[in-house]
Amino acid sequence: MDDTAAKREGHSLQHDESVQEVKRVKSDDRGAVEKSSEAPEAENILSAVTATKVLKDSAREKSIFIHGKLSAQLGDQEAVVIMESTPITEDTLGELFAKSKLRLESEGKVGTIYRLQAPPHLNAIKTTVVCPATDNHVKKYQRQETFLVEETDADYRSITLPYIEKHCLSVQWVCNILEKKAEVERIVYEDPDPDVGFILLPDFKWDQRQVDDLYLIAIVNQRNIRSLRDLRSTHLPLLKNIYKKGQEAILQRYQLPTCQLRIYLHYQPSYYHLHIHFTKLSYEVPGCSGERAHLLADVIQNLHLNSDYYKSQTMYFPLRADHGLMNKFKKAGRL
C-alpha cells in the first residue's frame, strides 16, 4: 500500500542519466535513489526546483515535504522534495564541540540557550528528490486525516482481497533481493531454506550509523504469503525460525539483546510479500503503534491457539482519507 510509512526508502537524487543509481529504490518511488556517503559531490539539482506547496512538515521529526517543479531546461517535471535533519552521533561530538560557533539567544535560571552553527560537513540535511512525481506521490506525502478501518473476514474476501489483486504494486524488487540480483552487499543474515528461510537486511530508513535507531527487515523466501491474513499454523516453523535466528543475528552483529527489540508485522503491509520488522524498542519508528503493528511473538501464540486465527479474526488498521481501499470500504457501507 503506497501510503504507509514503512516502505523501504531510497535517499538522494536522480535526474535523467546524470546521477548514477547505486542502491535499490523503494517499491513505489522508483525515482528516489540512495547514494553512498563516499559519493562525490553532485550537481545541485535543487537549484532547478521551484517550490509550489509544502505538503507536510514536522517540527518534532525535523522534516519537511515539498511539492515543486523542475525548470524547463531539466524537463519541466513535477517533483517531491523530502528534507530531513540528520541525527547527531556520538562519534562527532568532539568536533561538534570544538569547531562550532555559538550565538547567545537567552539566559535563564536553569541554563543558557545558544544557537549552534556546526561545521558544514556535520550539518547535513538528508534530501530525497522524487522525480518525476506522480499524483500518487503528492497524495502520499500530503498531510491527511487517517481513519481506523474495521475489517471482518467477509470484508477481506469481498473488499480488500479484490483491491489487492487489482491494485497492489509489483514485488519484483523483492524477488531480485531473494535471487541475489540486488542488495547483496547489504545482507546481514541469510537462511537459504526454501520453506523456513529468509533474508535479513537494513531498511533504507536506517543510515546504520548508530544502533539507537536500528531498523531491519526479514523477507521470507516463500513467495505465496502476502500478509498476516494468509498465515496459518503450518507457517509456525517459518515464523519461529525468523524470530530465533533474526534475534541471534542482531545480537552477534550489533550486540543488541532480545529484550531491546521490537519484532512485528504490519497490517495492512506496505507491500504484499511477507516481511518482518526488527527495530530497537526505544526507537519510535512510524508504524509501530498498536493499530497497525502486530508483535511476532503474539502472532506465533495466536496461531498455536487457532490455526485460522488471522483468517477469521476481525482486523483493524488505519487508512488515509484518499486511499483507494478507503473508498471501497465507504462504497460497501462499512465506514
Residues annotated as catalytic are: 275
**Cβ neighbours for 204, distance < 8 A, ≥ 6 positions apart:** 8, 9, 10, 11, 23, 26, 34
Q: Are 335 and 149 in contact (CB under 8 A)?
A: yes
E strand residue ranges, the chain: 49-58, 63-70, 78-85, 101-107, 112-117, 125-130, 146-151, 189-191, 198-202, 215-220, 261-266, 275-280, 293-295, 315-320
Cα separations in angstroms, 192 against 121, 238, 242, 253: 41, 12, 12, 19
Residue with cell 526508502: 9
Question: Cis bond leading into 40, ω under 30°?
Answer: no
**Cβ neighbours for 61, distance < 8 A, ≥ 6 positions apart:** 84
d(CA 319, CA 147): 5
**Cβ neighbours for 71, distance < 8 A, ≥ 6 positions apart:** 48, 49, 50
Q: For 315, left (φ over 0), alpha (ψ -120 to 50), or beta?
A: beta
d(CA 141, CA 55): 6
Q: Are 30 and 11 in contact (CB under 8 A)?
A: no
Residue with cell 507536510: 56
